Amino acid sequence: MSALPLPLAEFQSWMQSVLVHPDGAEVAIGASEARRFVAPESVSDVVRERDGLAVAERLQVYAGMYPLRMRDALRSDYPALAELLGEQGFEKLVADYVAVHPSRSFTLARLGDHLPEFLAGCGSPRRRGLRTDVARLEQAGAQVFDAQETAPMDAEALQAISAADWPNVRLRPAAAFRLMRVRPGAVDVLDAVLEGNPVPERAGRGRVEVAYYRKDFVVLRRTMGPFDGSLLSSLAAGETIGSALERAAKSFPRGFPSGEILSGWFAEWTRLGLFSGIERAR
């Protein structure tokens, strides 16, 4: 325990330990972390007593706002997850998560950076996958929102590539583009929240590719089909067009699309601004 008055550094360590304690200021004052600096019976030697509010109540004004601030920040980034978990479930998740991953950034926008991986390791295995996928989708949307603006790929440049060169070309993904492979139920959750409908809690079978992109600073989402999703996934991962088509063809041996359909997809992806440039493999 430190001698009073506390030096500034010790005062700040003490006060922070009280404010971020999950059980509130009254309990935190007596917790071992706080007692390293101030004995519970000496708290009024640190915080001035005044009429109106007791010392613990004054500390609680700050301590009470801390979890609310964390909850609001995470709810703002993960609104569908919050709906899926319900008020109590989301509050518990926030408390558990923030205890492991407190904010270490100047901005609360980074608070939820580890939430999808945190979800993947907690809760019942039956529900974990859907919840994690909902969080991954919402995180992708937030990343696309904040991504730097990059000039989209020039459609003419794409058309100018000779047939011989096509297999060796790579498409550079735009900064504001993410492709996520998730359980289809995760998309249903996001759709239900957007439309104000009750949130379904079915993971669904298989996986779908979901693209997030941005047009005129508005974040948009599109669920891809099995073939174009697979192809787009390979391209976004940096594979050449030739290699990506080969991989897709192996996955769908009986349903390879015509050249016309493929050209249409590439034209559409260019129009949506999913890619920012062309690179030729060496």
The residues that touch other proteins, with contacts defined as CB under 8 A, are: 4-9, 11-13, 15-16, 19-20, 44-48, 50-53, 55, 57-59, 61-62, 65-66, 69, 73, 102-110, 145-149, 175-176, 214, 217-218
Least Å distance, CB 258 to other proteins, is: 37
Phi, psi (degrees; rounded to nearest 5) at 135: -65, -40
Residue 141 CA to residue 55 CA, distance in Å, equals 43
Least Å distance, CB 35 to other proteins, is: 17
Nearer to other proteins, 69 or 222 (CB): 69
Nearer to other proteins, 49 or 154 (CB): 49
Least Å distance, CB 47 to other proteins, is: 5
Least Å distance, CB 186 to other proteins, is: 23
Give the containing element (helix H, strand E) for 278.
strand 275-280
SS3 256: coil
Least Å distance, CB 139 to other proteins, is: 15
Residue 195 CA to residue 80 CA, distance in Å, equals 11
Nearer to other proteins, 145 or 252 (CB): 145
Residue 274 CA to residue 213 CA, distance in Å, equals 7
Nearer to other proteins, 102 or 225 (CB): 102
Cα angle value 262/143/153 (rounded, 5°): 35
The beta-carbon contacts of 188-191 under 8 Å, at least 24 apart in sequence, are 189/80, 189/83, 189/84, 189/130, 189/134, 190/80, 190/134, 190/137, 190/138, 190/221
Residue closest to 182 by CA, chosen among 237, 125, 130, 120: 130
Least Å distance, CB 153 to other proteins, is: 18
SS3 218: strand
Nearer to other proteins, 73 or 236 (CB): 73
Nearer to other proteins, 47 or 281 (CB): 47
